[in-house]
Amino acid sequence: MARSFAGQVAIVTGASSGIGWELAKQLAAEGCKVGLIARREAPLRELASLIASAGGIALALVTDVGQREQVESAFANVREQLGPVDLVIANAGVGRPTLCDPVNMTDVEDTFRINLLGMIYTLSAALPEMLSRGSGHLVGISSLAGYRGLPCESAYCASKAAVNVYLDGLRMHLRKTGVRVTTICPGFVKSPMTETNKFYMPQLMEADYAAKRILRAIKAGKKVYNFPWLLHLLIKLSRWLPDRAMIWAMGDYEAEAKQAVVDRQKPNPT
C-alpha cells in the first residue's frame, strides 16, 4: 500500500528549478516539511515563499552538494529546525557536453563531482540517523542516459551509470536495516538543463508530470523506476544497434555541444 508523506521531513537537492522544484512543491502540498537545497539563493527563497503562502513549511539552504562540509551543515540545520529527516531525494545534477578537442576537463570533473559525489554526500549525510532509528528512505534521481553512452555526453552518461550501480549496492547493503533505497531514471524533462538541447528529445515531459510519477514510485517503495517505458525500451534496444545509428540520431550535436561550451565560458554582460 502506498504510504502518505504527511508529517514527514524531506530534503530535496537541486530544488531551485525543474524536477527538484516540483518535487519539493508537491511534497509540501502533501504535508511534508521540506528542506530545499541548491546553489542559487533567489529561486530557493522564491520556492520557500511559495510553499509558505500555500500553508506549507519549507527551509531554504544555499548549498553546493559537491562540497561535503556544506551538505552536512545543511542537514544539521534541517534537523535542528524541522526535525529528524525521513526522506532524502538527491536530485541535484548538471548536464554538460563532453568535448575531445580540446578536452573540457573542468566540465567533466564538475559533472562527476555534482552528479555522483554530490549524491553520495547527500545520502550519506542522512544515513546515520536513519540507521539509528531503523527507518528512512533514500532516493537518487538518475537518468535513462545511465543505460547508454552517447556521443559528446560521455561524462554525463557515465556519471549516471555510476549513480545506478552505487544505489544498487547501497540498496542491497541496507536490505535488513529498515532504510529503503530507490533509484529513479527519468527520460527527457523540460528544465533549464534541457532547454538548450537542439536535438530531438522523444517523449519530453513537463517537470510537474515527472514529479508526480516520481513521488508515486517513492510511495510504492519501488527499487528502480524507469520512465517513460517506451523510451526506456528504445534505449535498451539501442545497445544492440551499431554505433553509426546513435551517431546519426544525435545529428550535429557535436557542433552544438562545442558552441554551448563556448557560450557558457563567455563573461556575463554587466
Share of the chain above pLDDT 90, in %: 71
β-sheet bridge partners, residue 87: 10, 137
| Phi, psi (deg, nearest 5) at residue 100 | -115, -25
The span from the CA of 163 to the CA of 141, in Å, is 9
Note the pLDDT of residue 254.
61
Q: Which member of 147, 156, 166, 253 is catalytic?
A: 156
16-33 pLDDT, tens digit each: 999 999 999 999 999 999
Evaluate whether 223 touches 171 at the Cβ level (below 8 Å).
Answer: yes
Per the DSSP assignment, residues forming a β-bridge with 238 are: none
In this prediction, residue 103 carries a pLDDT of 86
Residue 1 has a pLDDT of: 44
Burial of 263 (0-12, 13-18, 19+ CB in 10 A): exposed
Question: Are 96 and 152 a contacting pair, CB within 8 Å?
Answer: no
Looking at residue 269, its pLDDT comes to: 41
Helix (H, G, I), strand (E, B) or coil at 55: coil
Nearest one of 185, 243, 207 to 24, comparing CA atoms = 207
| CA–CA distances in Å: residue 34 to residues 14, 142, 162, 223 | 13, 21, 27, 23
- Can you list the residues of the chain whose pLDDT is less than 50? 1, 267-270
Domains of the chain and CATH, by start: 9-265 (3.40.50.720)
Three cell numbers, residue 17: 528549478
To the query of whether residue 156 is one of the catalytic residues in this protein, the response is yes
What are the strands of the beta sheet with 33-38, ordered from one edge?
Answer: 57-62, 33-38, 9-13, 87-90, 136-141, 179-186, 224-227
CA 40, 269, 100, 190 torsion-angle sign: positive
Inter-axis angle of helices 154-173 and 105-112, to 10 degrees?
Answer: 20
pTM: 0.90
